[in-house]
Structure 1
Amino acid sequence: MTTQSLPNSSKRLWLAAIKPPMYSVAVLPIWVGSAVAWAETQRFHPWIFATFLAAAILIVAWSNVSNDVYDADTGIDQHKAHSLVNLTGNKPLIFWIGNGLLFLGILGILAISWEQHDPTVIGLILLCCALGYSYQGPPFRFGYQGWGELICFICYGPLALSAVYYSQVQSWSLTNLAAAVIVGLTTSLILFCSHFHQVADDLAAGKRSPIVRLGTARGAALLPWVCGSLYGLTLLFVLLGSFPLWTLLVFLSLPFAVQLVRHVQTYHDQPDQVSNCKFIAVALHFCSGMLLGLGFVLG
């Protein structure tokens, strides 16, 4: 059966399962880390950028696929029609597809480390993968204890940007770490927003997500502070001289932040209405990250 012959509802389920918008979390660390490296050293290696980007996409795909497998084990996805396990009815197949994606992604990072005769980059990415596994994988399942956002921040912020920056110039940068805080923050915001519509399922599976712990009303009240910190930190780093003035382009993403806050505060306790807030968070993450990197390039 071809994709064209699938009913529209099936197409939507498969697109929701594959999660194309979520791959911005793979793109942004590569873009911003490379942009900071260029701004500070005027050095840029296109093949490393392209290899790292492809590897990052494969590793994020592994994370998404394996999370469906591990969620199927706990039963938290029993009402999730767009789970890959539920769509295929073949959990072992999805498990091994995920492992294959991870293997290919790690091969790409190994190629970079091999070329540089330096294990630093592969070491950082393996640490990212280990933390990513601990988020949902047994016996850890730290995401069920409410630690998912912190893991997400560390992996897609300081660890990922440090690996990318190092892959370009084989050194370290405090400015890059400052940029990593902003990228990690907006990445964690996506995960935070994904919990608002699934409180009942999380409670039933014993998952103590931040929204389960806080409640949807207090979670919605926290959003303006989280979004505001994105712009406050950028302004602070500009005033301190760490970021070039051009990084204030990030403020052009402010409409997405306002839309996200208003949407969640209006519908926080209505799962069907609030479920799309994570896609607004993705738009904020992608737009702010692209503008941040552009600011470094122009600066």
Structure 2
Amino acid sequence: MRLTHFADNSVKKINTSLWLAAIKPPIYSVAIIPITMGTLAAYRDTGEINLPIFSLFILSGILIIAWLNLSNDVFDSETGIDVNKSSSVVNITGNKQLVFRISNICLGLAILGLSAIAWLQQDWQVILLVLLACFLGYTYQGPPFRLGYQGLGEFICFICFGPIAIAAAYYSQAQVLTPVTLPTAILIGISTTIILFCSHFHQVQDDILAGKKSPIVRLGTKQGANVLMILTASMFALTVLWWLLGYFPLSSLLIFLAIPSGQQLVSHVQKYHDQPSRVSNSKFIAVKFYIWSSVFLALGLIAPTFFS
């Protein structure tokens, strides 16, 4: 009886771990952070935050990420690239159609939330921007585009979670589009792209077999690790540049407090880039860097508003 109880607990722990890996809770930060950054930029310029609009946007953003994660699992199951991926929701449930239906429900609810924002403001600009991002997100893995298989996923990620997401969040608060958000959007776009870039290191062989020409397949893991180092360093170099050009305040240099998490990411990938089992967690270290760099940047950008 004790052995059976122990085995049951072990199975439950494995199942829980699989589901957590499949749902990817940390990855939902890529919805929360751009919307928060765009909202804070609007607050810096207008002195106001519409909390109901902000809350609706956050909820819709989380639902969109759920749609992307679930639908991508469905699309990947059709190409066979996820055949060895134990954390695929499709592989766990064995029901591709159910997963696809749930993903579409998430998208429908997200559009409903965005429509509520548009109705409250009598302005459809926000929903048009987000729908553009959703379309680009679909082209990443969805047929007939599957642009991620051509190595264009990182470019799509940069555009959607950088300029478009932050512009939409800013517009939802200020009802105006402005190039002032672009420097921040570039940094958030880069740090989000780093997460996707790191997700390729451990699945090079599966990508090659499925015909997916990810950046790591094209570059090789060693060169990919070097590119990651450059991308990570560019976050800090660009922040200094934006400050010198007058786009950012001096306090934006608080982002340098994220150097330890950036160094951890770069060192880990440099050391284990060609060891799939050891480098597979690099995307989670990348999420950690993404969160910390965003938090410190946000504090730096908003600090002058509070002190003034």
Q: Please name the residue that 2:264 is paired with.
A: 259
Do 1:74 and 1:205's aligned partners in 2 also have CA atoms closer than 8 Å?
yes
Q: Please name the residue that 2:42 is paired with.
A: 37
Q: Please name the residue that 2:201 is paired with.
A: 196
Over the aligned positions, Cα root-mean-square deviation in angstroms equals 1.3
CA distance in 1, matches of 2:296, 2:183: 15
Q: Please name the residue that 2:3 is paired with.
A: none
Shift of 1:296: 2.1
- Alignment-mate amino acid for residue 195 of structure 2: I
CA distance in 1, matches of 2:11, 2:103: 24
Match of 1:57 among 62, 67, 88: 62
Structure 2: segments with no counterpart, 5+ residues: 1-7
Shift of 1:269: 0.4
CA distance in 2, matches of 1:277, 1:134: 25
Shift of 1:297: 1.9
Q: Please name the residue that 1:16 is paired with.
A: 21
Q: How does 1:1-299 map to 2 (within 5 A)?
A: 7-299=12-304
Report which stretch shifted further, 228-237 or 286-295. Answer: 286-295
Do 1:175 and 1:243's aligned partners in 2 also have CA atoms closer than 8 Å?
no
Q: Comparing both chains, which one has the higher relative contact order based on Cα–Cα distances under 8 Å and sequence gaps of 6 or more?
A: 1
Map Cα deviations across residues 88-128 of structure 1 (whole Å, 9 max, x no partner). 00000000000000000111111111111111100000000
- Alignment-mate amino acid for residue 132 of structure 1: G
Structure 1: segments with no counterpart, 5+ residues: none
Q: Please name the residue that 2:5 is paired with.
A: none
Percentage of pairs with the same residue: 55
Shift of 1:58: 0.4
Shift of 1:292: 1.5
- Alignment-mate amino acid for residue 146 of structure 2: R
Shift of 1:43: 2.0
Q: Normalising by the residue count of structure 2, what TM-score does the alignment of the two structures yield?
A: 0.94
- Of structures 1 and 2, the larger Rg is shown by 2
Shift of 1:6: 5.4
Shift of 1:175: 2.3
Q: Normalising by the residue count of structure 1, what TM-score does the alignment of the two structures yield?
A: 0.97
Task: Mark the CA change 1:5 to 1:215 in structure 2 (over 3 Å): closer, same or farther.
Answer: closer
CA distance in 2, matches of 1:245, 1:34: 20
